[in-house]
């Protein structure tokens, strides 16, 4: 399936519309990202975005909560609402013929939500229950808390909120966040599927074209947690979180960084899985992933093991990370490329994936990236490219967080 060019239009109010035609499908998907994510929450009110996101879909325009859900169900819309660090995102997939009616409803959701005060308590309770469930999942908690320690505030805040902040969130705070954050300037609407660009642009102009701009919200950079930290837990497991600097998505070396992390943690043939889990049997789970903000990136790594084997697990994991600079096999890189190409083919066939991807691309790059370009950049990667990246970005400034009975130490030769 050949790439068709993504067409774009920026409305006078600052809303960016991106449309990728996909003539071989019968569906269409959208992803509407508005700048009201956790980085825009007032200090001490982490969780406001999660509450706002839930309340916004509990009635809008002329429809109450039940009527709104019924209207979207009649369109066969598979929908999702997510809270991220930069945006609250509303997304959906349906038959192409139902896309514009769905967008009309979402026009009301972002512009005329009811934000029912009588449901505020129930929504807050739901957020609290979700956070308490995470407290019982230290494998998730260690990565959430690791972000607090490797990124400056507000980028290190948990996207789901903070139990300590929830009691301070009020309906007034929610309305304040809505009034300043749900705005067209800075919002991105990505659409992919069997649609006509002119028809979609006309429909969006009718629904969102006169949406009033609001002032941009400045972000104030704060501090971060300690680079070495331990959360005590009377448990028969130890959860290890590691972070070190990487390049962001917009960097020219991003794909080399991706390949380096893929060699470490790209399936059952990867180095961490093979050495730490399979050969030595040190842990039941180990992985690394590349994480990107707009201007900076990190590699986040995790290992779960027993307290008795935790220090050895940490040592071997760090050894494998540092050994990347000693050499990478052509076979290792080819396995990574094969996995990436398979993922690209599947993405090419998914309207939901493409709508999300072009929205993400525009936020990070101010342009969209054709899948053919991604394919070429991955295909052209050489072992020399990856090794150069690894040697120019050694994992020196490590952040270590553990959850378990006892803290661990970073070996002197590595720290």
Q: Which helix (H) or strand (E) holds 291?
A: strand 285-292
117 φ/ψ angles, rounded to the nearest 5 degrees: -65, -30
Co-location of 275 and 167 in the same domain: no
Kindly report the CATH number assigned to the domain that includes residue 177: 3.30.830.10
Q: How far apart are CA 170 and CA 147, in angstroms?
A: 26
- Is residue 79 included in any domain, yes or no? yes
- Picking from 208, 236, 264, the residue at the C-terminal end of a domain is 208
Which CA distances in Å does 180 have to 95, 183, 215?
33, 7, 7
CB distance 22 to 354 below 8 Å = yes
- Picking from 208, 242, 260, the residue at the C-terminal end of a domain is 208
Reading the chain (415 residues) residue by residue, the pLDDT tens digits are 445 799 999 999 999 999 999 999 999 999 999 999 999 999 999 999 999 999 999 999 999 999 999 999 999 999 999 999 999 999 999 999 999 999 999 999 999 999 999 999 999 999 999 999 999 999 999 999 999 999 999 999 999 999 999 999 999 999 999 999 999 999 999 999 999 999 999 999 999 999 999 999 889 999 999 999 999 999 899 999 999 999 999 999 999 999 999 999 988 889 999 999 999 999 999 999 999 999 999 999 999 999 999 999 999 999 999 999 999 999 999 999 998 988 888 777 899 999 999 999 999 999 999 989 999 999 999 999 999 999 999 998 899 999 999 999 998 755 4
Co-location of 26 and 117 in the same domain: yes
Co-location of 131 and 243 in the same domain: no
- Is residue 251 included in any domain, yes or no? yes
Check residue 266 and give its pLDDT.
Answer: 83
- Picking from 159, 177, 208, the residue at the C-terminal end of a domain is 208
- Is residue 365 included in any domain, yes or no? yes
CB distance 294 to 365 below 8 Å = no
- Is residue 410 included in any domain, yes or no? no
Structural domain boundaries enclosing 304: 228-404
Co-location of 57 and 121 in the same domain: yes
CB distance 77 to 93 below 8 Å = yes
pTM, to two decimals: 0.94
Q: Which of 49, 308, 24, 276 has the alpha carbon at shortest distance from 160?
A: 49
- Is residue 397 included in any domain, yes or no? yes
- Is residue 413 included in any domain, yes or no? no
Strand partners, 93: 29, 78
Which CA distances in Å does 406 have to 159, 272, 313?
28, 23, 14
Co-location of 314 and 367 in the same domain: yes
Co-location of 202 and 236 in the same domain: no
- Is residue 143 included in any domain, yes or no? yes
Co-location of 152 and 100 in the same domain: yes
Omega of the bond prior to 387 within 30 degrees of 0, cis? no
Co-location of 203 and 232 in the same domain: no
Number of domains into which the chain is organized: 2
Co-location of 149 and 192 in the same domain: yes
CB distance 1 to 24 below 8 Å = yes
In three-state secondary structure terms, 188 is strand
Co-location of 315 and 280 in the same domain: yes
Check residue 313 and give its pLDDT.
Answer: 97
Co-location of 369 and 235 in the same domain: yes
- Is residue 346 included in any domain, yes or no? yes
Co-location of 143 and 261 in the same domain: no
């Amino acid at each position: 399936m050949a790439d068709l060019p993504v067409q774009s239009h920026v409305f006078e109010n600052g809303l960016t519309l991106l449309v990728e035609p996909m003539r071989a499908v019968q569906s269409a998907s959208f992803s509407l990202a508005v700048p009201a994510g956790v980085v825009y929450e007032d200090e001490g009110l982490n969780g406001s975005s999660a509450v706002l996101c839930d309340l916004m879909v509990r009635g809008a325009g002329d429809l109450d909560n039940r009527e709104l859900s019924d209207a979207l169900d009649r369109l066969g819309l598979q929908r999702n609402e997510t809270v991220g660090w930069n945006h609250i995102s509303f997304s959906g997939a349906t038959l192409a013929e139902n896309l514009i009616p769905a967008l009309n409803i979402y026009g009301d959701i972002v512009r005329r939500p009811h934000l029912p005060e009588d449901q505020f308590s129930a929504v807050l309770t739901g957020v609290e229950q979700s956070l308490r469930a995470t407290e019982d999942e230290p494998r998730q908690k260690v990565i959430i808390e690791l972000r607090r320690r490797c990124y400056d505030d507000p980028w290190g805040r948990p996207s789901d909120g903070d139990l300590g902040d929830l009691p301070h969130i009020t309906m007034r705070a929610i309305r304040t966040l809505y009034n300043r954050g749900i705005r067209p300037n800075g919002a991105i609407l990505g659409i992919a599927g069997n649609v006509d660009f002119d028809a979609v642009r006309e429909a969006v102009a009718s629904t969102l074209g006169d949406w009033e701009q609001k002032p941009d919200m400045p972000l104030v950079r704060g501090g971060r947690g300690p680079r070495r930290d331990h959360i005590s837990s009377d448990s028969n497991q130890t959860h290890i979180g590691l972070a070190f600097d990487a390049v962001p998505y917009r960097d020219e070396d991003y794909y080399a960084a991706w390949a380096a992390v893929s060699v470490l943690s790209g399936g059952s043939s990867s180095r961490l899985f093979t050495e730490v889990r399979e050969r030595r049997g040190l842990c039941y789970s180990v992985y690394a992933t590349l994480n990107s903000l707009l201007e900076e990136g990190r590699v986040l790594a995790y290992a779960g093991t027993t307290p008795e084997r935790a220090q050895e697990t940490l040592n071997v994991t760090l050894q494998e990370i540092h050994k990347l600079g000693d050499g990478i096999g052509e076979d290792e890189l080819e396995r990574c490329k094969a996995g990436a190409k398979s993922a690209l083919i599947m993405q090419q066939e998914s309207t939901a994936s493409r709508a999300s991807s072009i929205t993400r691309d525009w936020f990070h790059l101010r342009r969209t990236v054709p899948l053919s370009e991604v394919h070429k950049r991955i295909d052209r990667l050489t072992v020399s490219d990856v090794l150069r990246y690894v040697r120019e970005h050694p994992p020196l400034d490590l952040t270590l967080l553990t959850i378990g009975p006892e803290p661990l130490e970073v070996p002197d030769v590595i720290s």
